Amino acid sequence: MGIFGSLIKKEAIHIVRDKRTMFITLLMPLFLLILFGFAISTEVKNIKIVTIVDKHTDMSRDIEQKLAVNEYFTYLGQAAPGDVERLLRTGEIDAALFIRTDGDKLDTQIIVDASNTTSAKTSTGYIQGVLSGSSQSQPPILTQTLYNPQMKSAYNFVPGIMGMIFILICAIMTSVSIVREKENGTMDLLLVSPTKPGTIILGKLIPYFILSCIILAIMLLIAYTVLELPLSASVFNVIILSLIYITLSLSIGLLVSTIVNTQLNALIVSAVMFMVPIIMFSGMIFPIDNMPRILQCITTIIPARWYISAMRKLMIQQLPFGYIIRETVILGSMTIVLLGLAITKFKNSR
Amino acid sequence: MNSVVKIKNLSHKYGSTVALDDISLEVERGELFGIIGPDGAGKSTLYRILATLLNPDKGEVYVAGLNALTDYKKIRTKIGYMPERFSLYQDLTVNENLNFYASLFGVSIKENYDLIAPVFGQLERFPNRRAGALSGGMKQKLALSCALIHRPEVLLLDEPTTGVDAVSRSEFWDMLSQLRKSGITILVSTSYMDEATQCERIAMINKGKILDTNTPVNLVDNLNENLYCAAANNMFGLLNRLRRTSGVRNCYTFGATLHVVADTSFDPDQVSAQLTADGLKNVKIYRTKGDIEDLFIKLTRDE
Amino acid sequence: MNNQKKVISVKDLTKKFGSFTAVDHISFDVMEGEIFGFLGANGAGKTTAMRMLCGLSFPTSGSGTVAGFDITTDAEDIKRNIGYMSQKFSLYSDLTVIQNLRLFSTIYGMSDKEFKSASENLFKELEMEDMRNTLVGEIPVGWRQKLAFATATIHNPKVVFLDEPTGGVDPVTRRRFWELIYQASSKGMTIFVTTHYLDEAEYCNRVSIMVDGKISALDNPTALKEKYHATTMDEVFRIVAKQAKREE
C-alpha cells in the first residue's frame, strides 16, 4: 500500500474506533430530519375559533358550517361578544370571528391571538380564505400554493438541515482531527517524513469526504421516503451541489485547523464562527428578505445561504439546473478560494 | 566533511524570548551525542530546527551534509525524529503504528527489521494492543521503533527518558548503545545529568547557550574545584552550618551526602571538629571527585 | 520514632480494576514530620495508591487513615487537611502570583485576614516580594516551583503529597526545592513524595519501593543499601524493581 493508502486507512481507523463520535455523526442527521419533519411544525392546525353573530342568516350559517368542517379549525360554536376577550386571554380560543349582517351584505371582523405572530398570520389567512369562499357579493379570491401545496414545513427544513449538518460534520470533524494530531505531536512526525504536505491534507480530507457522502445518502433517503419529498430528475443536481458544498465545508475545517492549536479552540471556532451564522443568516429559519439591508449583505458571504437557496429550488420547486447556476458558481468559487487559502497556510506553517 | 550535524552561530527567538543564543556544534558520524540541560534550556527548539520543522532566525544548520534551510526535503528522508511528547497514534495498535510509519517512508518492515529487532523484540508479544494501553517504557520502545523503521542516518531523540522510571531508562540507554554499533548517529537530549556519562560527547545547554562541549570524562576533569563530601546524622543541620562556615564557597545536597566547594583555606579536620562540638554526630568530611552534576551547578553559578 | 504520631496509616489497601489488581494489599505508616519517599517503576501502582490516600479514589478493600480521617468515609475531610502538588499541574500561569495564592487560600477556606498575614510571611520567606503582581507564566521555573509548594501548603496541612515535583528541573533548582521540603518537615509537616530521581530518594527519612502493586521494600535509605549490598539508592531501586513479573 502506498503512502496515500496508509494515510487514509489510518484515518479510517481513527473514525471507526471512536465509536461514540461516529454514532453521533451518523445519528444526528437522522434525528434532526425527523425532529424537524414531524415534531417541529410551522403549520397551524386546530385553530380554536368561535363566532359572534348578531343575526342568523344563511350566509352566517354557511360560514359556521365551513369552519366546522375545515380540518384546520376547531369550531367551538357561538360566543357572546363580552366573553371574547376572556376566552382569548385564557387561551380557550385562538381566534374569534364577528359576523354582522347589514342588509344582504356581510360585515366581518377577525380577532386573533397574536402572541405567536406566525400562527396568527396563518390563521388570519385561513379565515380570510373561508370568508372569501362564502361571500356572495365578492368573487372568491383563489390562492394556489405552488411547489409545496400542502404547505408542509418539513420541505422547507430539509435543505436547511443539510446545510447545517455538512458544516458541522465536515468543518468540525476535520479541524478537530487535524488539531488533535498537532496536540499529540504526530503531525510533526508526518511533516518530517518525506510525505508531501499536499498528500497529508488529502489523506485527512478524503476519509471525511467519504463519511459525508454516506451521510448525504442517508439524508436523501429519509427526505425522499419518510418525509415524502417529490422524487424527480433533480436528485442528480442535488447530489452534485451537495458534493461541492461538502468540499467547501472540508476546506473551512482545514482552514480552521491551520489557525488554532488546540482541539477545544477548533471546536469553538468551528461552532461559533460557522454554526451560529448558518442558523441566523442562511435563511434556514429567518427569511432573508425580511432582514435589514446590512444583514442581507452579510448573508451573501455565508455559504450555507447559497446552498440552502439552491437546494430549495431543486428539491421543492423541482427547477432544472439552469435556475441554480448563480448559486453553483458562488459556492464553487468560495470552495476554490478557501481550499487554496487553507492549503497555502498549511504548507507555510514551517 | 565527516560531521553529520553542523551548527554555526544558530539563534532563535519566539517573540522577545530568546530560545537559542548563538549556538555552534558539530557531531561526528556514528557518535552518540548528548544534549544535557534542564527544561526550558532550548533543547526542544534545537531539535525542531534539526528536524526541519522550524526555520532558524540566524545561523547555519547542516544535517547529513545538507543545508536545513534549502534541502529540508532531502534531510527528512535521512533523519528519524522522536519528539518530546509521546507521538504515536494511541488508538492504533502496535503493528498498525509501525506499519503506518513504514509506509510513510516507503519501506517494508521486513527489510529493516534487523535494525529495530533489539528494540521491538519485547513488543512482539502484543502486536494487537493499542498504543494508548502500553506502559511508559513500552510506548518509548514503540516510538523508537517507528523512528528507526526507515533506517535513518541521524536519530534525533528529544528527551526520550523524561517521566520514565530508572529501570526503563537504563534499558533504553542499553538499546541506544546497541544501535550505535549499526553506525547510526544519535543525538539525544535529557534533563537527567546522570545519563550524560552514557554519551561519547555531550553539550551542556542552559538558557539557550551551550556552556561546554566535550567528553564526559574531560568535562569532569576540567571541573577544577576543591570538592569535599560531607555527612552527619542531621543532614539539613549540617547543610545550614557548612554554608555559614568560612572557606565554603558553595554547599549542596548530593545523594546521601553533601558536596562542599571550598577555598584552599578549608581544613576538613578542623571543620568536622567544630561541627561535632556544635552537637552534630558522625561528622565525616573527605575529598571527592565531582561529576557532571557538580559541573552543571558550577557553570550555572558562574554565569 | 515509635512514640510519634502516625499521620498516614494504611492496612491491606487494595484497588482492583476489573481483574487487574493495581494495588495489592499494601500496609504502611508514615509518622509526623517524616519525609516519606514513595518509589516504584511506571505502572507499579504508585499513582493509584496515591489517589486513594488523597481521597480521590475509593479502595476495593482494606482501610487507612490520613491526617486522622478514614479514607473510605471521610474523603472530604482528608482533602481539607492535605496539600497536593504535581509536576503536571500546579499553578494557573495566566494569573499573577498573588491571585494564585489567594485562589487556593479561598478554596481551603482561609479568611482575608488569615491570608494577609500568611502571604506576607510567605513572600518574605520565599524572597518573592517584588514578584507578587507578576504573571506566574512569566516567572522562572525555579521560582514557580517554590511558589507551587507554597500554594500547596498555604493552609498549613498536616501532610503534603508531592507527585514527581522535580521532573525535568535542573539540578540547582531541584536542590533548592528539596531544601524547602526539609524546612517544611522540620516544622512538623509530613511529606509524601514520589520521584524518578533516585539521588532524591537518599534525602528521604524512609523509602518504600512498589513492585507489581505490592510494597517490596520499606526502610530508611541506609538500611536498604545495607540489605541489598548497594552503595546508592539507584542500585537498590534497580535490584528491587527488576523483580517485577507483571505482564505489560
Query: Chain centroid to CA A28: how far?
Result: 14
- Specify the pairing of strand C6-17 against strand C190-194: unpaired
What range defines the domain where residue A85 resides? 47-134
Flag whether pLDDT at A136 surpasses 50. no
Question: Where along chain C do its domains lie?
Answer: 6-241
Hey, of B168, B236, B300, which one would you mutate to test binding to chain C, going by the most C CBs within 10 A of its CB? B236
Q: How far apart are CA B252 and CA B267, in angstroms?
A: 18
The reported pLDDT for the residue numbered A184 is 83
Domain count, chain A: 2
Q: How far apart are CA B186 and CA C189, in angstroms?
A: 45
Flag whether pLDDT at A137 surpasses 50. no
Residue C14: CB atoms within 10 A of its CB come to 17
For domain C6-241, the CATH superfamily is P-loop containing nucleotide triphosphate hydrolases (3.40.50.300)
3-state secondary structure of A337: helix
Q: Are residues A332 and A306 in the same domain?
A: yes
3-state secondary structure of C104: helix
Q: In this structure, what C-alpha cell is assigned to residue B294?
A: 557538580
The reported pLDDT for the residue numbered B167 is 85
Min Cα distance C171 → chain B (Å) is 7
Q: Is C1 exposed, middle or buried (0-12, 13-18, 19+ CB in 10 A)?
A: exposed
- Any B CB within 8 A of C198 CB: yes
- Any B CB within 8 A of A189 CB: yes
Contact C196 B165 (CB under 8 A): yes
Q: Which residues of B63-86 are buried (b: 16+ CB within 10 A; e: fewer)?
A: bbbbebeebbeebbebbbbbbbbb
Measured at the alpha carbon of residue C71, what is the angle toward residues C70 and C73, in degrees to the nearest 5? 65
The reported pLDDT for the residue numbered A39 is 62
3-state secondary structure C200-238: HHCCCCEEEEEECCEEEEEECHHHHHHHCCCCCHHHHHH
**pTM metric for this prediction:** 0.79
Hey, of C34, C35, C38, C42, which one would you mutate to test binding to chain B, going by the most B CBs within 10 A of its CB? C42
Domains of chain B, start order: 3-217 (3.40.50.300), 227-302 (3.30.70.100)
Q: Are residues A28 and A172 in the same domain?
A: yes
Sheet holding B154-157, edge to edge: B79-82, B154-157, B185-190, B32-36, B201-206, B209-214
Which residues on A lie below 8 Å from B83 (Cβ)? 185, 188-189
Q: How far apart are CA B35 and CA C117, in angstroms?
A: 45
Q: Are residues A307 and A342 in the same domain?
A: yes
Q: How far apart are CA A66 and CA A143, in angstroms?
A: 17
Min Cα distance A301 → chain B (Å) is 34
pLDDT tens readout for residues B117-137: 988 988 899 899 999 888 878
Q: Are residues A340 and A302 in the same domain?
A: yes
Which residues on B lie below 8 Å from C242 (Cβ)? 167
Element (H, E) at A174: helix A173-184
- Any B CB within 8 A of C138 CB: no
**Entry field: residues in chain A:** 350
Q: How far apart are CA A110 and CA A88, in angstroms?
A: 12
- In this prediction, residues B14-32 reach a mean pLDDT of 92
The reported pLDDT for the residue numbered C21 is 92
Confirm if A108 and A99 have CB atoms less than 8 A apart.
Answer: yes
Q: In this structure, what C-alpha cell is assigned to residue A189?
A: 512526525
- Any B CB within 8 A of A1 CB: yes
Q: Are residues A172 and A74 in the same domain?
A: no
- Any B CB within 8 A of C197 CB: yes
Q: In this structure, what C-alpha cell is assigned to residue B15?
A: 517573540
- Any C CB within 8 A of B40 CB: yes
pLDDT tens readout for residues A276-285: 888 888 877 7
| Lowest-pLDDT choice from A263-272, B69-78, C47-56 | A263-272
pLDDT tens readout for residues B69-121: 999 889 999 999 999 877 889 999 999 999 999 999 999 999 999 999 988 98
Q: Is residue A139 part of a domain?
A: no
Where in chain B does DSSP place strands (E)? 3-14, 17-28, 32-36, 58-63, 66-67, 79-82, 154-157, 185-190, 201-206, 209-214, 227-231, 248-254, 257-262, 284-287
Q: Are residues A194 and A318 in the same domain?
A: yes
Q: The dihedral of CA B146, B151, B155, B156: what is its sign?
A: negative
Min Cα distance B156 → chain A (Å) is 11
Chain B positions contacting chain A at CB under 8 Å are 48, 51-55, 72-73, 76-77, 79, 81, 83-92, 96, 99-101, 103-106, 146
- Any B CB within 8 A of A193 CB: yes
Q: Is residue A251 part of a domain?
A: yes
Which residues on C lie below 8 Å from B172 (Cβ)? none
- Any C CB within 8 A of B72 CB: no
Flag whether pLDDT at A233 surpasses 80. no
Hey, of A3, A8, A14, A188, which one would you mutate to test binding to chain B, going by the most B CBs within 10 A of its CB? A188
Q: The dihedral of CA A305, A309, A315, A319: what is its sign?
A: negative
Neighbours of chain A (3+ CB pairs under 8 A): B
The ipTM assigned to this model is: 0.79
Q: Are residues A9 and A77 in the same domain?
A: no
A in contact with C (at least 3 C-beta pairs within 8 A)? no
The reported pLDDT for the residue numbered A144 is 60
- In this prediction, residues C147-154 reach a mean pLDDT of 88
Last residue of a domain, one of A134, A164, A198: A134
pLDDT tens readout for residues A149-177: 555 556 677 888 888 888 888 888 899 99
Q: Is residue A274 part of a domain?
A: yes
Residue C161: CB atoms within 10 A of its CB come to 25
Which residues on A lie below 8 Å from B106 (Cβ)? 2-3, 194
Flag whether pLDDT at C168 surpasses 80. no
- Out of B55, B77, B83, name the one closest to residue A188 (CB): B83
Q: Is residue A295 part of a domain?
A: yes
| Lowest-pLDDT choice from A30-39, B21-30, B271-280 | A30-39
Q: The dihedral of CA C19, C20, C26, C32: what is its sign?
A: negative
Where in C93-188 does DSSP place strands (E)? 159-163
Contact C42 B165 (CB under 8 A): yes
Task: Tell me the pLDDT band of B1, cut-offs 50, 70 and 90.
Answer: low
Q: Are residues A31 and A86 in the same domain?
A: no
Contact B301 C172 (CB under 8 A): yes
φ, ψ dihedrals at A347, nearest 5°: -70, -30
Q: Are residues A94 and A160 in the same domain?
A: no
Q: Are residues A336 and A266 in the same domain?
A: yes
Measured at the alpha carbon of residue C32, what is the angle toward residues C28 and C38, in degrees to the nearest 5? 45
Min Cα distance B173 → chain A (Å) is 22
Q: Is residue A281 part of a domain?
A: yes
pLDDT tens readout for residues B205-257: 988 999 999 999 999 888 888 999 999 988 888 999 999 998 999 999 888 88
CB pairs under 8 A between A and B: 73
Q: Is residue A239 part of a domain?
A: yes
Query: What CATH code is carried by the domain that includes residue A97?
Result: 3.40.1710.10
- Any C CB within 8 A of B89 CB: no
- Any B CB within 8 A of C196 CB: yes
Contacts of A264 (CB under 8 A, 6+ apart): none
Last residue of a domain, one of A72, A100, A134: A134
- Any C CB within 8 A of B100 CB: no
The reported pLDDT for the residue numbered B30 is 92
Which residues on B lie below 8 Å from C196 (Cβ)? 163-166, 169
Q: Is residue A203 part of a domain?
A: yes
Flag whether pLDDT at A138 surpasses 50. no
The reported pLDDT for the residue numbered A153 is 59
Q: Are residues A178 and A268 in the same domain?
A: yes
Q: Is residue A145 part of a domain?
A: no
Q: Are residues A165 and A109 in the same domain?
A: no
